């Protein structure tokens, strides 16, 4: 037995070393620290303490609000990893093996469902911390068994139900209709569900699954938040908490029908027709009103559907657009005047572009940087043959636009939560910083005026939300062009420079608008059932090319004769976000990041194998630290019949590239 044990011990050291992936989780050059509060451990790097303190203060406020609503407080502080090295607006939560959040602090910079907020970090923390409280909660028998087996994956009752119920609850809690924030009340989600109603609501058996058909990844959020709205409307707000209470002591996974039966008086198959009727009443009424007013839509030029992006009219009738159809890799396309479609170049998801008739296409798209970061970089693309030239490496330029001569570039720079305007030469080299940015202000979708004097942008500010602003290049100052509670986006100068085309959700529906820059009068150009976005005009045509939303996703349209209709009303309110929370210094400590507390085993499961050849008794466990530097999995047992140890050990070290993976058995 001793010999076998020695061989096993030697085997643990004589392990193969393999690079297993092309990227590490975090940039190895970053130096991390941890800020401790009563309920959170906030992990940040280098000079990020200001952002970490703000995150901690917001998280403590979110905890005070949500913990009583969910009926749960985690037993240990929750880890929050503050990641400002990803140029996307996102975050995720996990309760296994510990309660952990990762937040990408870059805010939304366009219309995709996340734009309706009065502070990105507050909205993001609310959504993700709802997941933590909801999924971590375990009452009754699951809670009792968890005390013995630890945080075993099967002992999180609320995690073992369809995703639309999980995401729906978090989206419902992020939504505040009185303050006008969150996806549950947004015009974007109203648009998505309005067109679902127009084509027929999906059956519950389809919503229960991971589906590729449109609206694809939005489905669990969209149907989930709508179902909780239905629950409140039909049964009262207290039933939301009752659904959590009733399911949190459930040891049998996916017993969602018995839960709804006990709380709402019917299984989901019985409730779904009532849910459909609720949606028909809520969204069908607006559909009828839109149709009664007379539809004003363009001719549909593409039939790709799925996700969209900008489209831009070219002289001669051609159109450049992004194809993100869910079947092929995303691509920059050119639709010729004769209706044929020309593939130009492959692009990344969430790419942006603008075009100059001589200088070509300016493409901004996310790229892996230093095997870990996700930064937007700029490319020049030939609009005739698709040849691509990379202009920046690690530039972090979310948007860019040519000057009228095609010799300089104005680019929107993003450094986590800080936006700026940079002037670049035609090769992508920075010449000067025009605006260093200010806390929380978001700059997006620039367009350079034909006379070269101004740049129009969609700008989000804490007190005013999304509005159109014009940046005067000579004076280096912003001028606000609109100011109301609607969301405005996608500004585009008319060829004569006298007006701006844009999209807004005045009246609750995204339609195209035209703002006369001299009189400041705005008119409506379309009246669509879904939505209309990204308007543009070429110099040789009055037609407006835009991206329209229908029940299969987004496509390109051409409106030959834009209307000139009155603007729907919009609230004139100014956003009133809650005052910034402040944490007491006496409750905060900061020290160097240590992975070791995260590596303590927090769950185990018995290893038991008995037959005529062996009698193995042992345990299985695993853990990883919040930054995913160290990951291990243990399956260790002792074979009493053969008198030796058996099992396997896996370890991954993911701080530097290449990632190292070790295995012994």
Exposed (0-12), middle (13-18) or buried (19+): which is 533, by Cβ within 10 Å? Answer: buried
Over residues 202-218, the pLDDT tens digits come to: 999 999 999 889 999 99
Compute the average pLDDT of residues 92-102: 97
User: How much is the pLDDT for 12?
Assistant: 39
Residues 357 and 272 in one domain: no
Report the candidate in 373, 368, 457 with the shortest Cα–Cα distance to residue 411. 457
Residue 21: pLDDT band with limits 50, 70, 90: very low
pLDDT confidence band for 416 (50 / 70 / 90): confident
pLDDT for 11 equals: 39
Say yes or no: 529 and 494 in one domain. yes
Is residue 530 over pLDDT 90? yes
Judged against a pLDDT cut of 60, whether residue 79 lies above it is answered with: yes
Does residue 567 fall inside a structural domain?
no
Confirm whether 340 is domain-assigned: yes
CB neighbourhood size of 252 (10 A): 8
Q: Which two tokens stand for residue 65?
A: 């609000």
Co-location of 101 and 185 in the same domain:
no
Note whether 337 and 256 are same-domain residues. no
In a domain, 564, yes or no: no
Reply yes or no on whether the pLDDT at 9 is more than 70: no
Q: What pLDDT digit, counting tens, does each position of 577-605 carry?
A: 677 887 777 789 999 999 999 999 999 99
pLDDT tops 70 at residue 14: no
Question: Is the confidence at residue 472, as pLDDT, over 50?
Answer: yes
Phi, psi (rounded to 5 degrees) for 429: -85, 135
Same domain for 509 and 639, yes or no, is: no
pLDDT band at 24; cut points 50, 70, 90 = confident
| pLDDT mean over 231-259 | 95
Residue 247 lies in a domain: yes
Domain residues for the domain of 56 are 31-136
Confirm if 423 and 79 have CB atoms less than 8 A apart. Answer: no
Tell me, what's the pLDDT at 357?
A: 92
The band of 59, judged by pLDDT with boundaries at 50, 70 and 90, is: very high
Q: What is the 3-state secondary structure (H, E, C) of 442-493?
A: EEEEEEECCCCCEEEEEEEECCCEEEEEEEECCCCEEEECCCCCCCEEEEEE
Question: Do the domain assignments include residue 585?
Answer: no
| Domain boundary residue, one of 278, 293, 308 | 293
- pLDDT > 70: percent of the chain: 95
Domain at 527, CATH number: 2.120.10.30
pLDDT tier for residue 437 given thresholds of 50, 70 and 90 = confident
Residue 439: per-residue pLDDT: 80
Answer yes or no: is 197 within a domain.
Answer: yes
Q: Are residues 407 and 465 in the same domain?
A: yes
Least confident of 8-17, 118-127, 175-184, 297-306: 8-17
Q: How many CA atoms lie within 13 A of 207 on its CB side?
A: 25
- Residue 575's pLDDT band, with cuts at 50, 70 and 90, is low
Percent of the chain with pLDDT over 90: 89
Both 287 and 358 in one domain: the answer is no
Query: Which of 508, 533, 559 corresponds to the end of one domain?
Result: 559
C-beta contacts of 9-17 below 8 A and 24+ residues apart: 11/664, 11/665, 12/649, 12/664, 15/662, 15/663, 15/664, 16/662, 16/663, 17/660, 17/661, 17/662
User: Is 24 within the bounds of a domain?
Assistant: no
Which pLDDT does position 460 carry in this prediction? 97
Considering the domain architecture, whether residues 227 and 312 belong to the same structural domain is answered as: no
Same domain, 214 and 249: yes
Q: In terms of domains, do 401 and 434 share one?
A: yes
| Domain CATH number, residue 55 | 3.30.2010
Regarding whether 490 and 432 lie in a shared domain, the answer is yes
Q: How do residues 214-225 score in pLDDT, each as one tens digit?
A: 999 999 999 999
Mean pLDDT of 4-21: 37
Question: What's the confidence (pLDDT) of residue 85?
Answer: 95
Residues 282, 298, single domain; the answer is no
pLDDT number for residue 576: 66
Query: Radius of gyration of the chain from Cα atoms?
Result: 27
Mean pLDDT of the chain: 93
| Domain end marker among 101, 118, 136 | 136
592 in a domain, yes or no?
A: no
Domain count for the chain: 4
Q: What is the pLDDT of residue 573?
A: 53
Measured CA to CA, the distance from residue 408 to residue 414 in angstroms comes to: 19
Find tokens 């978001």 and name the residue.
442
Q: Is the pLDDT of residue 547 over 90?
A: yes
Residue 312's alpha-carbon distances to 34, 301, 317, 346, 410, in angstroms, are 46, 13, 10, 17, 18
> Which band of pLDDT confidence, cut at 50, 70 and 90, is reported for residue 569?
confident
- Whether the pLDDT of residue 174 is over 50: the answer is yes
Looking at residues 351-380, what average pLDDT do you find?
Answer: 96
For residue 76, what are the contacts with CB-CB under 8 A and spacing of at least 6?
98, 99
Q: Which residue has the higher pLDDT, 15 or 141?
A: 141
């Amino acid at each position: 037995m001793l010999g076998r044990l020695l061989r096993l011990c030697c085997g643990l050291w004589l392990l193969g070393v393999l690079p297993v992936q092309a990227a590490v989780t975090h940039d190895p050059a970053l130096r991390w620290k941890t800020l401790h509060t009563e309920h959170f451990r906030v992990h940040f790097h280098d000079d990020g303490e200001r952002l970490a303190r703000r995150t901690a203060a917001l998280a403590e406020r979110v905890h005070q609000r949500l913990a009583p609503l969910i009926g749960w407080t985690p037993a240990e502080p929750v880890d929050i990893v503050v990641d400002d090295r990803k140029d996307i607006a996102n975050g995720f939560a996990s309760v296994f093996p510990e309660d952990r959040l990762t937040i990408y602090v870059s805010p939304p910079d366009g219309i995709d469902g996340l734009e309706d907020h009065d502070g990105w970090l507050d909205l993001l923390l609310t959504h993700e911390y709802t997941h933590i409280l909801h999924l971590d909660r375990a009452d009754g028998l699951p809670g009792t068994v968890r005390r013995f087996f630890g945080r075993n994956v099967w002992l999180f009752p609320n995690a073992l139900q369809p995703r639309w119920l999980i995401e729906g609850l978090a989206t419902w809690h992020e939504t505040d209709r009185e303050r006008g924030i969150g996806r549950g009340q947004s015009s974007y989600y109203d648009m998505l569900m309005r067109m679902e109603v127009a084509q027929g609501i999906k059956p519950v058996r389809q919503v229960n699954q991971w589906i590729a058909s449109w609206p694809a990844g939005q489905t669990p959020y969209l149907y989930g938040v709508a179902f909780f709205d239905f629950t409140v409307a039909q049964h009262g707000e207290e039933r939301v908490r009752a659904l959590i209470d009733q399911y949190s002591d459930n040891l049998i996974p996916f017993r969602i029908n018995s839960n709804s039966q006990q709380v709402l008086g019917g299984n989901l198959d019985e409730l779904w027709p009532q849910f459909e009727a609720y949606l028909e009443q809520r969204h069908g009424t607006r559909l009828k009103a839109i149709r009664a007013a007379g539809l004003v839509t363009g001719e549909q030029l593409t039939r790709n559907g799925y996700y969209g992006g900008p489209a831009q009219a070219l002289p001669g009738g051609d159109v450049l657009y992004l194809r993100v159809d869910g079947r092929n890799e995303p691509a920059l396309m050119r639709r010729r005047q004769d209706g044929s479609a020309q593939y130009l170049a492959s692009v990344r998801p969430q790419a942006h572009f603008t075009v100059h008739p001589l200088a070509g296409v300016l493409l901004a798209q996310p790229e892996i940087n230093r095997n870990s970061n996700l930064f937007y970089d700029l490319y020049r693309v030939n609009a005739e043959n698709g040849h691509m030239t990379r202009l920046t490496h690690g530039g972090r330029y979310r948007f860019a636009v040519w000057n009228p001569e095609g010799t300089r570039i104005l680019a929107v720079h993003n450094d986590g939560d800080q936006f700026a305007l940079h002037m670049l030469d035609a090769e992508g080299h920075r010449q000067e910083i025009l605006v260093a940015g200010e806390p929380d202000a978001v700059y997006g979708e620039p367009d350079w005026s034909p006379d070269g004097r101004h740049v129009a942008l969609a700008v989000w500010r804490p007190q005013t939300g999304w509005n159109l602003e014009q940046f005067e290049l000579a004076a280096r100052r912003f001028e606000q062009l609109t100011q109301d509670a609607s969301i405005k986006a996608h500004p585009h100068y008319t060829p004569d420079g006298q007006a701006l085309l844009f999209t807004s959700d005045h009246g609750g529906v995204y339609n195209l608008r035209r703002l006369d820059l001299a009189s400041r009068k705005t008119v409506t150009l379309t009246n669509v059932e879904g939505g209309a976005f990204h308007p543009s005009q070429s110099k040789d045509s009055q037609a407006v090319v835009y991206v329209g939303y229908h029940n299969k996703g987004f496509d390109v349209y051409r409106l030959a004769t834009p209307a000139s209709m009155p603007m729907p009303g919009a609230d004139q309110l100014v956003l009133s976000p809650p005052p910034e929370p402040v944490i007491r210094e006496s409750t905060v400590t900061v020290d160097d990041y240590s992975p070791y507390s995260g590596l303590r085993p927090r769950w185990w499961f018995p290893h038991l194998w008995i037959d005529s050849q062996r009698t193995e008794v042992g345990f299985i466990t695993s853990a990883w630290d919040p930054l995913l530097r160290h990951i291990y999995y243990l399956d260790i047992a002792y074979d009493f019949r053969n008198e030796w140890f058996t099992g396997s050990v896996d370890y991954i070290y993911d701080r530097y590239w290449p990632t190292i993976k070790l295995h012994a058995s």
